[in-house]
Amino acid sequence: MPWRMPAETAPHERTWMAFPRVGFTLGDTEADRAEGYAAWTAVARAVAEFEPVSMLVDPTETARARDLLGSGVEQHETPVDEFWMRDHGPTFVVDDDRPGVLGAVDWIFNGWGAPDWADWRLSAEHARLVAAHVGAELVSSMLVNEGGGIHVDGAGTVLLTETVQLDARRNPFADRARVEAEMLRTIGADTAIWLPRGLTRDYDEFGTNGHVDIVATFAAPGRVLLHAQPDPAHPDHAVMPEIRAALEAATDAAGRRLEIVDLPGPAQLRDDEGFVDFSYVNHLVVNGGVIACGFGDPVADDRARGILADAYPGRRIVTVDARPLFARGGGIHCITQQQPALPSPSPSPSPSPVDSPNSADAAPAGPALPGDSTRRAAETER
């Protein structure tokens, strides 16, 4: 059966996210944690203006999630450690020969190369659990990969980076041919465009080693939005010509040369940790809109909105402050994962309301995800 990952611009059934929980990523102080919760909440509410949002919530965060998210976001209790849903959630695919069938690729997730600081045992199960919940056929893969490490045009082309899929900490025995064969089998991409690397900040201790979704994305088949760093004082000013050269030399699955549209970053070059990787490329396309990263730079934010409006005609551009997300290691695209709409009704079960006598504004919640013994036990005790 030929699986195919639709373009992000294709219609969505919903967007999946995971709610933050106390730990290393969220921050050490109460102020840090409050900032993180608010950042994830702001993205969820922005997406919910356009399409349904389903949020995985750790049992320890249920009350907080209800209070912050309100009634507009469906919640599912399941154990959570990491909460970058793009990376450890399923990569949804469709089968054009079976129009009503949804697939979910379950990559091996090892916390972006098994760093000492990452906890991923729980989040590594999320793809399988979400797939079962929505009735998707599981497409298991032996490739260590993350959703932020790929971008597709929906028509047979995938963007990859050599420092992710060929990372020895992820896939020590992989080569291009093996990775490309797995991309064809799992997401239907018969043409891979390999970028040599990612942005500079992504190679520090807490980076992903070069995710493509902060560097380049397809606005449409044959058209790529590419991060640009015009300031020579930033090391990415020297990095981007190498990446651009790889795109200029490539052809897509249809044999076309790519049209490359620059998406310049904001003026800020550094934060307390060093050179930033602030990138407007890390946006999410939703039904009728685009959720864009903002960086507190009115000129650059407005310029990015204009470029995105031209790239995605007919969609409303909504900007959300992404600085708290980037301070924790990613952006808007990194914390979201779209589920494509199917031509026939989705097999997803209907949500049932949360039993919450103390809050009239409690968020609706679908049934507990498969394997969620914590939620089932709580319901038994009520």
Give the residue numbers marked as catalytic.
334
Structure tokens at 192: 């891979």
CB neighbour class for 63 (10 Å; exposed up to 12, middle 13-18, buried from 19):
middle
Question: What is the CB-side half-sphere exposure of residue 338 using CA atoms within 13 A?
Answer: 28
Comparing CA positions, the residue from 87, 105, 82 lying closest to residue 36 is 82
Q: Which two tokens stand for residue 107?
A: 């990559």
CA distances from 29 to 24, 71, 326 (A): 11, 28, 17
177/192 Cα distance (integer angstroms) = 10
Q: How far apart are CA 84 and CA 120, in angstroms?
A: 11
Q: What amino acid is encoded at 232 in this protein?
A: P
351 phi and psi angles, rounded to 5 deg: -70, 150
Tell me how far apart the alpha carbons of residues 316 and 291 are, in angstroms, rounded to a whole number: 9
* Cα distances (angstroms) measured from residue 338 to each of 13, 211, 287, 299, 366: 8, 18, 10, 29, 17
Residue among 334, 321, 278, 291 nearest 18 (CA)? 334
Q: In what order do the strands lie in the sheet with 53-57?
A: 74-77, 53-57, 12-18, 337-340
Is residue 203 classed exposed, middle or buried when 0-12, 13-18 and 19+ CB atoms within 10 A define those classes?
Answer: middle
DSSP state of 160: E
Distance CA 117, CA 119 (A): 7
> Are 193 and 224 contacting, i.e. CB atoms less than 8 angstroms apart?
no
